[in-house]
Structure 1
Amino acid sequence: MSYYANHTFRCMTPKALVEQATSPAIQRFIVDGYGPVSVSGIPKIGRIVLAHGAGAGHLSDFMRQFAATLSSQGLQVWAIDFPYMQQMNEQGKRRPPPPVKKTVAHFANWYDLIAPLDKSPLWVGGKSMGGRVASLFASERRCGGVVAAGYPFHPPKKPESLRTEHLSAIVDPTLILQGERDPFGTRAEVLSYGLPSSIRLQWLTDGDHDFKPRRASGINQQVLIDEAAIVAASFVRAHQAVAAGTLCTRV
């Protein structure tokens, strides 16, 4: 049995998603021409396309907990696996991600498929590489906003190789959830970058790249993941309220 079949994914046509993605329960599909996706929650405050990091797909413990807490707060989550990750999972062999432009293009295809399925705003986001991909997408196209968990500001031990140039081109609301000790961008490093004021930074106490704190901190990773997701949902809710108020004023 394949990896995805073993995790109860069902084959689905893009057209059939309209009728299927209306349940509060987690639903898992292999969408023809797109790949694997897990859908959870009802879009009370909005929806988000959520991409994974470079080394683990959307069924990792981090991604599953983050998605579950987001959906419990009123966001409908569409968590996807990129094609190279699907191959990794099926073959049981690690593979490097393809050039980032190719991954952004695949992400855009998912966005275009999901956006028309509901009238609620569609946000973009992800863990590490997935957050970078979402932010690159948002620097080129409008969306509800961006939520990045553990943004890879630079490769570990290569602080000179910054991945921040495109961030100033993002027009929509952007939230970066970052562990204070993240080797991809510590608190001290990131605060020195002079990021646009439109980007909100939320620091996770003593967290590393996966929001895992040291034992001496007195907190644990699960608490920080939940904290990050609750902050993210509140961020979305606040901006949707502002957008709705602006619309009413104009009308």
Structure 2
Amino acid sequence: MGAVRSFEIDTPRGPARVQVVDPAGPPVSLLVLGHGAGGDVDAPDITAVRDVAVAGGVRVVLVTQPYRVAGRRAPAPAGHLDEAWTAVVGEVRDQALPLILGGRSSGARVACRTASALGAAGVLALAFPLHPPGKPDRSRADELPATLPTLVVNGDRDPFGVPEPVGAVEVAVRPGAVHDLRRDLPGTAEIVAGWLRRHRWAR
């Protein structure tokens, strides 16, 4: 692992916190990851993906949304999340590197909703919350960017449901895992690493 830098970026919704983790050599791509609704960027699945991506030559940027920086646990409205995220990505992106947007749960939804407009090459969705628990009729499947290479990693016991693969969306179902994806983190990280390598976004 190379240098680690932390700083804040002003957004229309207040300051967001950013941590940039560089690989040991020149980066081959840029992966920007957001956290879940009430969580942080140090969630176990985000940490596992960060480590395996950096080891594969990926520059990883971890984004803490303004409402979390301000100390609130209740998430901001979707439009506010997307607006802050878009501002951050605009500041950290490197036009010379393929851009992969991702996150877990709420952060995965933000990445999916903004990927096309931000010119992302791909999307990584950890624990994509297909619907609120117990309400399968309120599907969010239309947020998945069917025309962009997208990897969804969900547990088969996730109360938020598991999306179906459609178009360019691949779905990796983790046996015995719930929404936190803590079960077999090395296996989850390796699935992500393989997907990144397959698209030549990692060594």
Query: What TM-score do you get using the length of structure 1 for normalisation?
Result: 0.71
Q: Does 2:141 correspond to 1:164?
A: yes
1:101 CA displacement: 1.4
CA RMSD for the aligned pairs?
2.1
Structure 2 unmatched runs, 5+: none
Distance of 2:113 and 2:135 partners within structure 1: 20
Amino acid of the structure 1 residue aligned with 2:132:
P
CA distance 1:73–1:140, shift in 2 (3 Å): same
Q: Does 1:234 align with 2:175?
A: no
The partner residue of 1:202 within 168, 172, 188 is 172
Identity %: 29
Alignment of 1:36-115 (within 5 A): 36-42=17-23, 44-88=27-71, 94-115=72-93
Deviation beyond 3 Å, 4+ runs, structure 1: 31-34
Amino acid at match of 1:176: V
Give SS of 1:95's match.
coil
Paired letter, 2:53:
L
Number of residues paired by the alignment?
196
Displacement of 1:32 in angstroms is 4.7
CA distance in 2, matches of 1:123, 1:46: 8
For residues 111-190 of structure 1, the aligned pairs below 5 Å read 111-116=89-94, 119-167=96-144, 169-186=145-162, 190=163
Instruction: Answer with 128-137 or 202-211: which moved more.
Output: 202-211
Q: CA deviation at 1:75?
A: 1.6
SS in 2 for 1:102: helix
Residue 19 of structure 2 aligns to which amino acid in structure 1? S
Query: If you compute each CA radius of gyration, which structure gives the higher value, 1 or 2?
Result: 1
Does the 8 A contact of 1:52 with 1:81 survive in 2?
yes
Q: Is the partner of 1:78 in helix, strand or coil?
A: strand
DSSP 3-state at the match of 2:70: helix
Please give the alpha-carbon distance, in whole angstroms, between the structure 2 residues aligned to 1:145 and 1:127.
15
Q: CA deviation at 1:120?
A: 1.5
Q: Specify which structure has the higher proportion of strand.
A: 2
Deviation at 1:237, TM superposition (A): 2.3
Separation in structure 2 between the aligned mates of residue 62 and residue 199 of structure 1, nearest angstrom: 20
CA shift, 1:170, in A, is: 4.2
What letter is aligned with 2:168?
A: S
Output one character per residue of 1:179-211: Cα deviation in whole Å (capped at 9) or x when no partner. Answer: 11111114xxx34xxx42311111112111111
Q: Which has the higher contact order (CA 8 A, sep 6+)?
A: 2
Q: Distance in 2 between matches of 1:227 and 1:75?
A: 19
| Greater share of residues in helix | 1
Tell me by how many angstroms 1:123 deviates. Answer: 0.7
Alpha-carbon distance in 2 for matches of 1:36, 1:79: 8
- Report the Cα distance in structure 2 between the residues aligned to 1:229 and 1:41, rounded to whole angstroms: 18
What per-residue deviation string (whole Å, max 9, x for no partner) do you get for residues 98-129 of structure 1?
A: 1111111111111111223x612111000111
- Partners of 2:123 and 2:151 within 8 A in 1: yes
Q: Which runs of 5+ in 1 are unaligned?
A: 1-22, 89-93, 213-220, 242-251
